[in-house]
Amino acid sequence: MTSPKKESKTRHNNRLLLQFLRGSKALFALSICCSALTTLVDMMTPQVVRLTIDNAIGGKASQFPAWVDELVERLGGYSYLGSHLWIPAVAVAALGVVRVCAQFGNTMLNASGSETLVKNMRDTLYDHIAHLPYAWHMKNSTGDIIQRCTTDVDRMRTFVAEQLTSVLRIAILVAMSLYFMFSMNTALALAATLPIPVILAYSVLFRKEMHQGFTECDENEGKVSNIVQENLTGVRVVRAFAHERQEREKFEAANRHYTSLWVHMGHVIGRFFAVQDVLCGLQILLVTVYGAVLAVRGHLSAGEYVAFISYNGMLSFPIRRLGRMLSEMAKAGASLDRLVYIMDAPVEQDAPGAHEADMAGDIRFENVHFAYEEGHEVLQGIDLTIPHGTTLGILGSTGSGKSTMMLLLDKLYDLPPEGGRITIGGVDIREIQTDYLRRNIAMVLQEPYLFSRSIADNIAMGQTGATRADVEKASAAACLTEAIEGFADGYDTFVGERGVTLSGGQKQRAAIARALLRDAPILIFDDSLSAVDTQTDAKIRSSIEERFGTATVILISHRITTLSRADQVIVLDGGQITERGTPEALKTAGGVYQQIYEIQLGTEGGAGNEA
């Protein structure tokens, strides 16, 4: 008996499949109708052959329905057909033409339906993934997500287009084959059907093992894809550290395990099809031999024997096809489970009543506590006010919670209800529409990311509808103009994957220009000036002050000169604010800020050469 939990999961998966089938159901329905017509023609052809052999040539009394006899009489009668065999031949040819047309329609409609299905699946998955929380993406590897959206999608298409649409045709084949077989000879029909339950039971027993095997294969394919994706995007690091051999060995180990899983599945499928072929072969042998005995004894006419062998062949086709169908069903079931994992992940949603608040207000962190997972808190009781229009500098060691504060402010991570409050202009950010909040916060992340597009396109992503003049102004503010003009194609220079063709400082400045283009009331620079020299650092900060004098600016940096013109600076340690004040006051406060200031003070003269 199927458990309620399993039934619920099955219904849930079926609903998702129906969602994916939107727009292609009509095409598949028409394809199934054409397939059914093909099957009906296949059913009629042996009957024409039987009529010709037994009645037209052999002169046997008709055992066909009255409407068939009436049709033959209109054509001149059975004896007339016996002397004019071209008429049955034309009938068979006409049925062949109908079959070809129906098969053509089935193929074309099925192809259109399957491509529509794939497009809908990809669109749905892409849109859903694009709206999943930042935290979800941090927990799931890119390679595995890509594998789910490619291989698993293609397996679903294969199952629906090649197997699921064949169900009606198979049902018609089985039903009508059995009908005609029993109408001709009950004993022989019973002999033909006796092995079928054994074959079906054997097929069902293997389905669970195949489902588990295909699931494990899919998961390990995702691991292999992730290794490839990481090495292709991080090829410069691999080459720089001469780590090719270690990475190759890592890939080969994962690929070897993945291959072994498929080899095992090959053995399982091989055993399955081998035993099934033996059982189906025995069934065909039984019908052929027993039918020949009945024909010799006069219990079965020659025409009936020929027709019976044809119908038995049609009956064995869906039985043999069942094995492939179960195999594909196991693959599709595993793939659908992996797609359900993505679609069941909750997308970002605003709280009821969320609105567009005034972003030109003070930013407050009120007793903020946060942990990425149960256990160690990254932030512990942060209380901080950032007056609107001022600049806040944040200094702290790695893991002290600097970036986490900014991710929470931008709602890339959700602050739990018990974790305190973050407000802008007195409004809790939970009550502000997420899309509106992010449009009004320009953030340059710690690791700048550039897309495989032109420099102008990368910068223009900061603001919808940005013109070339807007891009050039933002580039000038980020001190990037001179570097761009040094390229042969200028702003149209194509940036390689992840900005690989640019230096670290150029990538940071391009990301800064993208953020400045937005002209947002809140600017966040998460250690995004680390790869530029101190002179360029100073120029960019001057441009920011000149262009965004009324904006609230948050600077996260390990460089004291970057923080020197902030209105206030806080020092984070272990998720807590250990120091706060103006840069001048902290220089002599005897804390971490003073220690770093004194260390860097002696080296700033040579910092202009920093990469």
DSSP SS3 for 523 = strand
Q: Is the pLDDT of residue 160 over 80?
A: yes
Q: Based on the fold, state whether residues 146 and 218 are members of the same structural domain.
A: yes
Q: Based on the fold, state whether residues 550 and 599 are members of the same structural domain.
A: yes
Q: Based on the fold, state whether residues 304 and 412 are members of the same structural domain.
A: no
Q: Is the pLDDT of residue 468 over 70?
A: yes
> Given 295, 326, 344, which residue is the final one in a domain?
344
- Could you give the CA distance from residue 94 to residue 86 in angstroms, rounded to a whole number? 12
Q: Is the pLDDT of residue 553 over 60?
A: yes
pLDDT, mean over the chain: 83
pLDDT tens by residue, 48-66: 887 888 777 877 777 677 7
Task: Specify the pLDDT at position 544.
Answer: 73
Domain count, the chain: 2
Task: Specify the pLDDT at position 109.
Answer: 92
Q: Based on the fold, state whether residues 316 and 407 are members of the same structural domain.
A: no
Q: Based on the fold, state whether residues 401 and 333 are members of the same structural domain.
A: no
Task: Specify the pLDDT at position 147.
Answer: 83
Task: Specify the pLDDT at position 411.
Answer: 93
Q: Based on the fold, state whether residues 333 and 390 are members of the same structural domain.
A: no
Q: How does residue 499 score in pLDDT terms, banded at 50, 70 and 90?
A: low
Q: Based on the fold, state whether residues 108 and 232 are members of the same structural domain.
A: yes
Q: Is the pLDDT of residue 579 over 70?
A: yes
Q: Based on the fold, state whether residues 312 and 405 are members of the same structural domain.
A: no
Task: Specify the pLDDT at position 527.
Answer: 82
Q: Span 59-82, mean pLDDT?
A: 77
Which of 366-375, 420-429, 538-547 is most confident? 420-429
Task: Specify the pLDDT at position 322.
Answer: 67
Structure tokens at 233: 């995007």
Q: Is the pLDDT of residue 18 over 50?
A: yes
H/E stretch holding 279: helix 244-296
Domain of 400, CATH number, reads: 3.40.50.300
Q: Is the pLDDT of residue 238 over 80?
A: no
> Given 319, 344, 369, which residue is the final one in a domain?
344
Q: Is the pLDDT of residue 14 over 70?
A: yes
Domain of 142, CATH number, reads: 1.20.1560.10
* Residue 81 covered by a domain: yes
Q: Based on the fold, state whether residues 314 and 406 are members of the same structural domain.
A: no
Task: Specify the pLDDT at position 603.
Answer: 47
pLDDT tens by residue, 162-207: 777 777 777 777 777 788 788 888 888 888 887 778 777 777 777 6
- Could you give the CA distance from residue 21 to residue 33 in angstroms, rounded to a whole number? 17
Q: Is the pLDDT of residue 502 over 80?
A: no
Which of 52-56, 231-235, 381-385 is most confident? 381-385
Q: Span 518-547, mean pLDDT?
A: 78
Q: Is the pLDDT of residue 610 over 50?
A: no
Q: Based on the fold, state whether residues 136 and 237 are members of the same structural domain.
A: yes
Q: Is the pLDDT of residue 42 over 60?
A: yes
- Could you give the CA distance from residue 553 to residue 544 in angstroms, rounded to a whole number? 9
Task: Specify the pLDDT at position 129.
Answer: 92
Residue that wins the pLDDT comparison between 528 and 560? 560
| Cα-based distances in Å from 379 to 67, 401, 441 | 86, 6, 21
Please report the DSSP string for 57-122 in residue order: IS-PPP-S-HHHHHHHHHTT-HHHHHH-THHHHHHHHHHHHHHHHHHHHHHHHHHHHHHHHHHHHH
Residue 323 lies in domain = 20-344
DSSP SS3 for 397 = coil
Task: Specify the pLDDT at position 191.
Answer: 83
Residue type, position 455, single letter: I
Q: Based on the fold, state whether residues 230 and 300 are members of the same structural domain.
A: yes
| Cα-based distances in Å from 195 to 179, 374, 489, 594 | 17, 58, 73, 88
Residue that wins the pLDDT comparison between 78 and 468? 468
Task: Specify the pLDDT at position 583.
Answer: 92
Q: How does residue 434 score in pLDDT terms, banded at 50, 70 and 90?
A: very high
Task: Specify the pLDDT at position 500.
Answer: 61
Task: Specify the pLDDT at position 569.
Answer: 94
* Residue 86 covered by a domain: yes
Q: Span 74-97, mean pLDDT?
A: 84
* Residue 476 covered by a domain: no
Q: Based on the fold, state whether residues 215 and 95 are members of the same structural domain.
A: yes
CA nearest to 525, candidates 538, 512, 507, 506: 512
* Residue 471 covered by a domain: no
* Residue 93 covered by a domain: yes
Q: Which DSSP symbol is given to 422?
A: E
* Residue 319 covered by a domain: yes
Q: Span 89-118, mean pLDDT?
A: 90
Percent of the chain residues past pLDDT 90, beyond the cut:
22
* Residue 91 covered by a domain: yes
- What contacts 362, CB < 8 A, 6 or more positions away? 385, 386, 387, 388, 424, 425, 426
Q: Is the pLDDT of residue 120 over 80?
A: yes
* Residue 514 covered by a domain: no
Q: Is the pLDDT of residue 327 over 90?
A: no
Percent of the chain residues past pLDDT 70, beyond the cut:
92
Task: Specify the pLDDT at position 229.
Answer: 75
- What contacts 189, CB < 8 A, 6 or more positions away? 178, 181, 182
pLDDT tens by residue, 554-576: 999 888 888 888 899 999 998 99
